Every structure is written in structure tokens, then in C-alpha cells.
Amino acid sequence: MSAGDLGGFSLFDLFRAEAETHGRSLNDGLLALEANPDDVVAIEPLMRAAHSLKGAARIIGLDLAVKLAHAMEDVLVAAQKGRERLASPRIDQLLRGTDLLAKLAAISEAELTQWNAAHQAEVDVLAAALAAAPPAAAFASAAAVPVAEAFTPAIAPPSLLQPAAAPASTVPAAAASVEAKTVRVSADSVDRIMRLAGEMTVESRRFTGLRDRMLALKERLLDLGETIERLEGEVGSHPRVREAGARVRDAFRDAAHHLAASDELSQRVEETSTSLYHATLGSRMRPFGDITHGFPRLVRDLAKELGKQVKLDLVGASVPVDRDILARLEAPLNHMVRNAIDHGIEMPNDRIAASKAPMARIAIEARHQAGHLIVRVSDDGRGIDPERIRAKVVSRSLAAPEMAERMSIAELLEFLFLPGFSTASTVTEISGRGVGLDVVQSTAQEIGGKAAIESRLGKGTAFRLELPLTLSVVRAAVVEIAGEPYAFPLVRLERVVRMPYAELTTVEGRQQFMLDGVSVGTVDASVLLGLGETERDDTASIMVVAHGRGDEAERYGLLVANFEGESDLVVRTLDARLGRVSHVSAAALTETGEPLLIVDVDDLVQSVRQLLSEGRLRGTSSSVASSQRRKRRVLVVDDSLTVREVERQLLTRLGYDVDVAVDGADGLNAVRQGSYSLVVSDVDMPRMNGFEFVAAVRREARFADLPIIIVSYKDREEDRIAGMQAGANAYLTKGAFRDDTFARTVSDLVGGPETND
Amino acid sequence: MSADRISSISQGGHVSLGEDAATTSERLRSLLARPIPPEELDENTRSVAAPAGRRQRFARPILVVQLGPELLGLDVGLARRVVRVAKTHRIPHRTHDAFGGIANVGGELVLVARLDRLLGLDHAGDESARRMVVLGDERRPWVVVVDRVEGVRRFDAEQFLTAPATVARALDGMTEALAPLDDNAFVSILDSSRLARGLERCLS
């Protein structure tokens, strides 16, 4: 088998792409054919699809696939020529073949040999069955579950988000022609083009600066012209002066002319680069139908298995959706549909008894609404009984009975999103234990949207997802923290508050302010990010974030240096070599092309809660106390608990703030994270000894002047020399604790325990 | 290696030790305009007759940059691009001394390393002369800020001097060799793989 390189795609990649496309049209076409077996015209595209697949498989030497596609093609040819009528069992066989080919397309090239071995027998049996006479249509009538697809015409998308493909047409058979208009491009190169387009937009804005300088030049020429005119008046009309005047006026006219031309050019470049940027952004969009094409089949198979009758309506297959969102949406959508068939829809007899049509209806709809993507999965089944939820809420002690009694239907339905909260009394194969609705909600939240349930007992249930149109652009509050730009996504912000510092009051010395009658404590964002304290001017800019929802939520006010404004940011992932960066979710560029970091608000809030509970963080205190008198911090590094405690107590008694580390490596970490006025270290320690530790600290330029005292049992002269050579400021033996040597050395090196910095 | 040898080779007419392209082409023109002396013919014959590998070594292209008081040489295979200095954004909680953060280099966010701190040098000179040098392959690039870019020069690897033992033996030493210039100056040629390792260490 050859794997020639074709512009980054191997031959197998190309086969895979083809198998995906043709597999989809086979699947859709076979389902349509099952609903309408006499539509001979519909057979032809299927025949062609099987034929193309056979050809593609032959080129790369996939003999199994050739055999299978060939057998399928034969059956379809026979059907087209009228030699065979395609009944449901035959369609089942063809669908099985389609599935096998789809599975083959999903594996990696390396797994091919193994796959061939594992599926040889299965393909042989299926190919033989396809070659044999059609199976008896034993339960043909029961199996005739018509599945219709109703695509509405394309909903006009906002101009920014042109769909990559032409709107899907109304018949599945035409799917192939729609696919033909799309090309496969690696996601990486689209991302790269988008970054370059973004850079282009930034660069084009530089024209404005250039224009201003040219304008200044024009003014200077005008000035010069006037000077010469005045000169002419003073010295009389000298021909040389007149000539100079004329030349300056010429130059001025030329400059004005060029300026106008460059103005027009810069405007055009800016417009074009903006369109380029939006067009590239739009190319990330895929039609919603990309993930729903499997659903008619899913619904058919599940309904058949459960003995239910279900009709699926798909609306908005052509609605453009960001490919990243689309990828995340497939699993929850699948879950909601399975859930609807399994739990929502009644058996045909029950439906008749409830005076409903025996044929149930499930609708999957997608549309754009007010800058959001709305996805709705609804059924006309039995609905959810709110009283059963209420009873369960009480029996699970999720709320007190009297509180549960007052809950509205909407509030009760919210409980279905709780992990493990299930109203299904039986465990089924189809939708598992009925859990997983929590996944629907968490997925929606992860991509910056929300999920809701509506239900009417006896009438049906609907899940509604409200999602952002794209993950690649996020609307955010751009702020300054420690002199650098950061952004808080607006969906994660409760409020942005700007108020005079003087209006912040304190509780236990920690600053707070009142927001809608709720006290919100403030925390310095810069400190959380390990970037030191925020410098304060007159106005406090505070990002209000919440942990939890509704009235139960805990609110925190994150203090930043400045709030710059709102902006649409194009999200870029951080370099993979950085790994997971705490408190940061991604990067972006500011309008001037400067990098900024997008804050992971959830992670930040988690840290705040954690640090508060460990006593390692106080809220911001009133500025006077905090910035003018602060205790100096000392780091004690020693592997012996006893020595550590002795030193800690001694230093605390002297009035210092003390942190401890258990060995050199731990100490080095601590030194890098915290701002210490002094380090006290032992010598003999595991992992990294004291000499190594001191030397490592000294290697970092910013710690060149950090006072370090080594305290050791080793009192030989060579140990002392080694310690001083490593970079310690003082070398004491542990006897120093018996008199005031230690205390004196500390105070000599750093001064008193309090600082005015 | 003696100074005589250096000068004899540089007079040989086919090697440029610290010469820029303009002087070289000028010299070539003047060479063509006069009869070739027999010694030079011999020298050139030897050079052309030398095995290919040997001849390639004669002209190793090196990007020469200034950082603080020192001239550094970066293999052009490693130093891919020189760009204007872009603003560096720190990464919270990444406190390695030699790690700078990220910068926007031609629309890509690239990791920034502090070459000055990796080498224990201090930036000096006019800030407007500073440039960023993009290092490493396209998938894992780094940028470092240097004080000035001198340009690409071709060095005769045979003339390289070994680095002092205090650097060569040092755990974090990065200099592969010293390329002598005229007037007692030299360029410290940085070893590409040791530099790459140093850069990776910034992420720890």
C-alpha cells in the first residue's frame, strides 16, 4: 500500500475523506429509499457512491473495501434495473455495509492490517449475503418506520458569518454536489491564515500614524510658502524668490494630492483587511447539518429496537456553526435525542390511548438568534411530571419539603441537570441510567452558553441550548494588571465596577463594597497572578465574579489596575510547551497587536476560595495600612521540623512574617513565588542541599541582593567558606540560637521587621 | 593556532574573516582585472581540489549579534529571522529567571527567552538598535532580544579557537568555540544544541 504525500494528506487520508462523503450519502439515501422503496431515481446516486468508493479503495489496495463496495453496487444496480425491490431487510444489509466502510474510514493507517484481519470474516459473510437473493421480508411492515427529513430553506446568516458551504438542499441525494464545493484544509492552516489576517488588520491601522506625519509635513510646506510670500513683501519681488515661492506652492499641492491618495488607499487597505479577517473567521463555520446527518439513522434504529414509531424533523441544517462548537455539540445532542426516544416517547398504543397520533415526532432545530446559536431538541412525548421531581428532591434531601413545595416548574426542571439525578425508574441500554443531562449542561457552560429544559406533562419535552456563535471570538473586558493587558470574558463577569478607593470600607480590615445590597469583598488580581500588589490611584476598577449560581453565589471583587474597555478578541491557544498555565485560559492580541492573556475566571475563583480557606490570602486591606507598613517576610528552609519550628517561632517573636520550605528544591520554588526580605537555610537537606540552593538562588539576577543566612551544625572552616562561596551573606552554627547572634544577624541584614515599601 | 596563519589565509583571497559582502565583491572585481599571481593560482587550485566537506567548512555562515559587551555567533540554521522588538507579555506563575513570556512576532505568539540571563550578561547600548532573533524550528520557535545585529558572516571553522575551560567545562556553558576577528576581538559561537537545551530549561 502506498502512502504518497499529497500536500500533507496521505492517500489514505484522501480515501477517508471520500468514504466519509459517500458513506453519508449512502446512509441518507438508503433511509430515504426505505421510506419510499419505489423511488428508482433515488437509487442512482447511491449506485454512483458505491462505485466511487470501490474505485477509491482499489487505488490504495483496500481489497476488503473493494469487495464490499462491489457487492453493494451490484445490489443497487439490480434494484435500479428493476430486478429487485429494496425491502427493509435488504436496506439493513446495505446499511451494515455502509457502517463497515465508515468504520474503516475512521481508523488510522497503522491499524489497517489489524483491521483487515479482524473484519475479513464479517465482510465475507456480508458480501455473500448481498450477492444472494434478498432476505425474506419477514417483518417488513413492522420495520417500515418512515423517516422524513425536512430541511427548511437557509436562514440568512449575518454577513460576518457566511457559511463555508452552499446551503444544503432539500434532498439528500444532492448532498454530494454540496460537498463538491467544499475543500479540505487542515485546521492548522486555517488558524494560521486567521492569525495572519488578524495581523494584517493591525498593520493596516499603522497607516493612520503615517498619515498624521504626512499631514504635519503638509502643514510645514504651507508654513514655508507663507514665509516666502512674506519675504517677497519685504525684499520686493525678486524673480528668484518668486520662483522659490512657486516651487513651494507646487510642492504643497503635490503633498496635498498624495495625502488624499494615500488616505484613500489606507482606507481601502483597512477595509479589505477587515473583510479578509471576517471572511477567514467565517471559514471556520460549518453547516449544522454536519453533525446531524447521522441522526435520521440513529432515530430509525433506536425506534425500531424499542418498537416505537418516530419521525425526525431536522430544521436549520445549513445554519453556520463554528467548527469547534460543532465538535463539542455532537455528544450532548446525541444524548438528548436518545433520551427523548427512550424516556420521552411513548409506545404507539399508549399514544393512541392518550389520543395522540401513534407516530411520535422529534425535532432538532438550529437557528441564529440575537448573536447566539439556539439549538432545540423537542419531542411530543409524555413530558416530565414536575411532582415526581418534587418528590425526589425531598426524598434525596436536596431541599427542605417546604422549600420544594414553593418551587416553580422551571426550578424543578433545573434539578434534572444535577449529576446523578434521574427520574427514569429503569436502567436501559439506550440512554444508560438516565444520567448525563448534567453533561449537556456542563458542555454548554464550557463553551460559554447555557442549557434549559421546558416540559409539559403529556405534551412533550424540549431542551434548549443557547450557545455563542463561535469560540474563536470572545467578547471580553480588557484590563491592565501589573502593567500588562489581560481580559475577562464577559460571560464570566457579573459586573464591572469603577468607584473611588475612598468608598471601599472594611470588614475585619478587608475591603468590601455594596453591590445591589450584597457585600462584595475585594481581592487583588495581581497578587493572585503572582505579579505583586496593584498600585492604587484614585479609582478602583473591580471585576465582580461569582462562584455558584443565583442567590447562593459567592461574589468576589477582583481588583485590577485599570479597566480599558470591552473588546472582541480572537482567541489563540497558548503555546503547548507552556502546558497548563494557572489562571489563564488562552491568549489574544490587543488592537495594537500586543499580546494579552485571557483570564480563566473559574480557575481564579477556585484559587481565591482555596487560598482563603488555607489562610494564605486576605482580601485587600485599606491602602494606607497595606502600602505603608508591612511586615517583612522571611523564608525558613530546613528539613528538620524541630529546627524549622524553633526558627519560625524566634522570627515570629521578632515580628517577621515567616514561611517555611522543607528542602532546597521546595525553597527555590518558594523564593521564586514570594517576595522575601530574607532567606534562612540549612545545609544538609534531601533533593537539593543548602549550598546548591543558595547558589541556585544567586544565579537568578533579581535575587542577587536577597540576604541569605545559612544555619548549620557544620562548624568547620571549609564548610563556612563553601557557604559564603555559594553566596550566603552569613554562616551561623545552630548554637547561634542560644544567644542573640541569630537575632542580631537578621536585624543587621534586613533591618527591623517592618517596612515602609 | 598562530596569527600568521590567520593573516595568510585572509590574504588568500577566498575567505572573508569578518568582511562584509561589499568589500568581498570589490576585491573579486579587482582580482578579475589583473593577472593571477602563481601563488594565488596554487592556493585556489588547492582549495578547489579539496574534498567537498572540507571546503564547506571553510565558510560557515554565522549570524553575529551583540549582547552587552560580547559578540555572539548563532548558526544561521538556528537563527531564522531578525525582527523588530515586540512587547513581551509575562506569563503568570512562570517565574524562571530566563523565561520572558510571549511576544507577537509577525502574527504568531512566540515564547521569549532572556538570552542575557541564560548567558549572565546585561543588556547595554541604544534600545533602538535592539532586535529580536527568532530561533529554532518553525514548530517550536523562541525569540531572544539582542542589543544589535551585526549581520551574517562566513567563518572558517578551521580558525576557531576553543572556548576557555571555565566556559567549556561549565554545566550551563553554551559556547562551542571562539571565532577570532582582527584586533584581538572574537565572536563566541554558541552551540546550537546546548542553546536549545538552555531554552527548554526556561520552561521548567
Task: Annotate A410-427 with DSSP letters as a single string.
Answer: HHHHHGGGSTT----SS-
Looking at the predicted structure, is the pLDDT value of residue A45 above 60?
Answer: yes
Whether residue B184 lies within 8 A of chain A, CB to CB, comes out as no
Residues lower than pLDDT 50 in chain B: 1-19
Nine cell digits for residue A442: 456542563
Instruction: Measure B156 CA to nearest chain A CA, in Å.
Output: 34
Best of B88, B96, B102 to disrupt the A interface by mutation (most A CBs within 10 Å)?
A: B102
User: pLDDT above 70 covers what percent of chain A?
Assistant: 88
The three-state secondary structure class of A347 is coil
The interface predicted TM-score (ipTM) is: 0.72
pTM above 0.80, yes or no: no
A41-55, A428-442, A655-669, B29-43: least confident range: A428-442
Q: What is the pLDDT of residue A756?
A: 53
Q: What is the pLDDT of residue A161?
A: 36
Residues in chain B with CB shorter than 8 Å from the CB of A671 are none
Name the band, by pLDDT with cuts 50, 70 and 90, for residue A422. low
Q: How many CB atoms lie within 10 A of CB A352?
A: 12
Q: For cell 446516486, what's the residue?
A: A45
- pLDDT tens profile A266-283: 888 888 888 888 888 778
Answer with the residue of higher pLDDT: A165 or A216: A216
Q: How far apart are the first and last CA of chain A?
A: 72
Q: What is the pLDDT of residue A153?
A: 35
Contact B190, B174 (CB under 8 A): yes
Asked if A485's CB is within 8 angstroms of B89's CB, the reply is yes
Q: What is the pLDDT of residue A9?
A: 59
Asked if A581's CB is within 8 angstroms of B93's CB, the reply is yes
Asked if A584's CB is within 8 angstroms of B104's CB, the reply is no
Q: What is the pLDDT of residue B188?
A: 95
Q: What is the pLDDT of residue A172?
A: 42
Angle at A335 between CA A333 and CA A341, to 5 degrees: 105
Q: What is the pLDDT of residue B107?
A: 81
Residue of chain A whose Cα is closest to the Cα of B202: A578
Q: What is the pLDDT of residue A6?
A: 44
Residues in chain A with CB shorter than 8 Å from the CB of B90 are 482, 484, 531
- pLDDT tens profile A220-238: 888 888 888 888 788 777 7
C-alpha–C-alpha distance, residues A245 and A276, integer Å: 46
Best of A204, A578, A698, A703 to disrupt the B interface by mutation (most B CBs within 10 Å)?
A: A578
Closest to B115 measured CA to CA, from B137, B130, B128, B126:
B130
Q: What is the pLDDT of residue B4?
A: 38
- The residues, ordered by sequence, that sit 6+ positions from A415 with a Cβ below 8 Å of its Cβ are A389, A392, A393, A398, A421
Closest to A487 measured CA to CA, from A577, A370, A604:
A604
Name the band, by pLDDT with cuts 50, 70 and 90, for residue A621. low
Q: What is the pLDDT of residue A497?
A: 92
Asked if B87's CB is within 8 angstroms of A595's CB, the reply is yes
Q: What is the DSSP string of A447-500?
A: TT-EEEEEEETTTEEEEEEEEES-SSEEEEEEEEETTEEEEEEGGG-SEEEEEE
Burial of residue B140 (number of CB atoms within 10 Å: 0-12, 13-18, 19+): middle
Looking at the predicted structure, is the pLDDT value of residue A542 above 90?
Answer: yes
Looking at the predicted structure, is the pLDDT value of residue A710 above 60?
Answer: yes
Looking at the predicted structure, is the pLDDT value of residue A171 above 50?
Answer: no
Q: What is the pLDDT of residue A182?
A: 67
Contact A451, A440 (CB under 8 A): yes
Q: What is the pLDDT of residue B133?
A: 96
Q: What is the pLDDT of residue A158?
A: 36
Judged by CB atoms within 8 Å, which residues 58-87 of B form the interface with A? 86-87
Answer with the residue of higher pLDDT: A542 or A622: A542
- CA torsion, ordered A104, A105, A106, A107, to nearest 10 deg: 60
Name the band, by pLDDT with cuts 50, 70 and 90, for residue A650. confident
Residues in chain B with CB shorter than 8 Å from the CB of A484 are 89-90
Residue of chain B whose Cα is closest to the Cα of A576: B140
Phi, psi dihedrals of residue A303, rounded to the nearest 5°? -60, -45
Mean pLDDT of chain A: 80
Whether residue A673 lies within 8 A of chain B, CB to CB, comes out as yes
C-alpha–C-alpha distance, residues A701 and A695, integer Å: 12
C-alpha–C-alpha distance, residues A317 and A293, integer Å: 9
Looking at the predicted structure, is the pLDDT value of residue A433 above 70?
Answer: no
Residues in chain B with CB shorter than 8 Å from the CB of A596 are 89
Instruction: Measure A687 CA to nearest chain B CA, in Å.
Output: 16
Mean pLDDT of chain B: 80
Nine cell digits for residue A611: 487560598
Q: What is the pLDDT of residue B110?
A: 94
Answer with the residue of higher pLDDT: A277 or A333: A333
Residues in chain B with CB shorter than 8 Å from the CB of A587 are 89, 102, 109
**Average of per-residue pLDDT across A363-387:** 89
Give me the residues paired with residue A563 across strands: A479
- The residues, ordered by sequence, that sit 6+ positions from A505 with a Cβ below 8 Å of its Cβ are A511, A512, A513
**Average of per-residue pLDDT across A71-84:** 84
- pLDDT tens profile A654-667: 888 888 888 888 88
Answer with the residue of higher pLDDT: A462 or A439: A462
Burial of residue A191 (number of CB atoms within 10 Å: 0-12, 13-18, 19+): middle
- The residues, ordered by sequence, that sit 6+ positions from B90 with a Cβ below 8 Å of its Cβ are A482, A484, A531, B100, B101
